[in-house]
């Protein structure tokens, strides 16, 4: 007799399986070497948000690690359709993970099978917008590592930084480079408002090139374009607002970093950023976006 949860399904290389079924072999390079990339895509009204950007980043990253795929091989719309045939969804997230496949021992051993493409959809519960409190982590990011700019499954540093932040009474960690530049939080890009301009850590700050950050930049009017900069702790001291941004958070205001307090949600730029993102998602996915699941998409 099966104990399968009817809401739990996994998409694996074109097949939809009950969630409790194993999908990886012990010699898969994603498991044995941690050599795998992933994307987390917001799903609103059953439709993936900012899809082309997520697919482009994933395919580009796979090319860099030597696991090339085409858009025909990897189509998130097909994955969602297959999963929704078993369990319809509305508001949640689709995570797609790709590994090179099975291989014998060795760092440069070529896989003996094709890549593993794994899709998981999770319905999300309603939540509320709240400003975040951040702790500056003692764990540093490496701007010289190619892995810093790939969305890989190597999350140990992020996990340890998050744990350190929670133990310090904060919600999340702000991660710096070894020379003290601002990089990112454990799961989001960082934006600061200096009272005149929006800025984000430059391409040499070990921050993942964010799909939602790029989208927001493209949507904002010229006077609000988010400029890359080498951001330091001194910039944080004089900033008028600090924000976290990713595909599920949208734009989350920060109200404290250590002892430094902010009023990030009380200025016009926060409303402006949220408004243009909401307009984009409404155009892509229809009205009633999020139904409280993505509260940053609420009416502003």
Check: pTM over 0.75? Answer yes or no. yes
* pLDDT value, residue 245: 97
Angle at 128 between CA 262 and CA 251, to 5 degrees: 50
Structure tokens at 24: 């990886």
Q: Which CB contacts under 8 angstroms, 24+ apart, belong to 254-262?
A: 254/131, 254/132, 254/133, 254/134, 255/131, 255/132, 255/133, 256/131, 256/133, 256/134, 256/170, 257/133, 257/134, 257/135, 257/136, 257/174, 258/134, 258/135, 258/136, 260/236, 262/131
| Domains of the chain (ranges, CATH numbers) | 9-123 (3.30.470.10), 132-297 (3.20.10.10)
Nearest to 272, CA basis, from 248, 235, 243, 238: 243
Burial 186-198 (b: 16+ CB within 10 A, else e): bbbbbbbbeeeeb
Strands lying side by side in the sheet with 15-18: 15-18, 9-12, 116-123, 92-99, 37-44, 47-48
Q: What is the phi-psi region of residue 234: left when phi exceeds 0, alpha when psi lies from -120 to 50, beta otherwise?
A: alpha
* pLDDT value, residue 1: 42
Q: What is the DSSP string of 23-48?
A: ---TTBHHHHS---EEEEEEEETTEE
Give bridge partners of residue 99 from the DSSP assignment.
Answer: 116
- pLDDT tens string, the chain, 300 residues long: the values are 456 676 799 999 999 999 999 999 999 999 999 999 999 999 999 999 999 999 999 999 999 999 999 888 899 999 999 999 999 988 999 999 999 999 999 999 999 999 999 999 999 888 887 899 999 999 999 999 999 999 999 999 999 999 999 999 999 999 999 999 999 999 999 999 999 999 999 999 999 999 999 999 999 999 999 999 999 999 999 999 999 999 999 999 999 999 999 999 888 999 999 999 999 999 999 877 766 788 777 755
């Amino acid at each position: 007799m099966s104990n399968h949860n009817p809401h739990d399904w996994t998409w694996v290389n074109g097949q939809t399986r009950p969630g409790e079924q194993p999908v990886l072999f012990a010699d898969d390079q994603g498991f044995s070497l941690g050599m795998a990339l992933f994307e987390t895509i917001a799903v609103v009204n059953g439709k993936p948000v900012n899809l082309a950007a997520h697919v482009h980043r994933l395919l580009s990253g796979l090319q860099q690690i030597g696991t090339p795929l085409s858009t025909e091989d990897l189509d998130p719309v097909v994955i969602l359709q297959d999963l929704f045939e078993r369990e319809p969804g509305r508001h949640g997230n689709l995570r797609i993970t790709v590994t090179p496949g099975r291989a014998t021992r060795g760092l440069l051993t070529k896989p003996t099978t094709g890549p593993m493409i794994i899709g998981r959809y999770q319905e999300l519960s309603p939540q509320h917008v709240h400003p975040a409190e951040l702790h500056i982590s003692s764990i540093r990011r490496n701007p010289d590592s190619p892995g810093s700019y790939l969305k890989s499954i190597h999350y140990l540093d992020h996990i340890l930084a998050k744990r350190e932040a929670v133990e310090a009474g904060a919600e999340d960690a702000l991660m710096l480079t070894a020379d003290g530049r601002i990089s990112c939080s454990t799961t989001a890009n960082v934006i600061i408002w200096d009272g005149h301009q929006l800025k984000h850590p430059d391409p040499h700050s070990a921050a993942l090139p964010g799909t939602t950050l790029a989208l927001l930049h493209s949507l904002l009017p010229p006077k609000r374009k988010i400029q890359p900069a080498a951001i330091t702790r001194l910039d944080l001291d004089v900033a008028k607002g600090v924000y976290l941004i990713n595909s599920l958070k949208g734009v989350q205001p920060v109200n404290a970093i250590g002892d430094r307090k902010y009023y990030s949600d009380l200025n016009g730029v926060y409303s402006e950023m949220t408004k243009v993102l909401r307009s984009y998602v409404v155009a892509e996915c229809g009205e009633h976006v999020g139904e409280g699941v993505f509260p940053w998409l609420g009416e502003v």
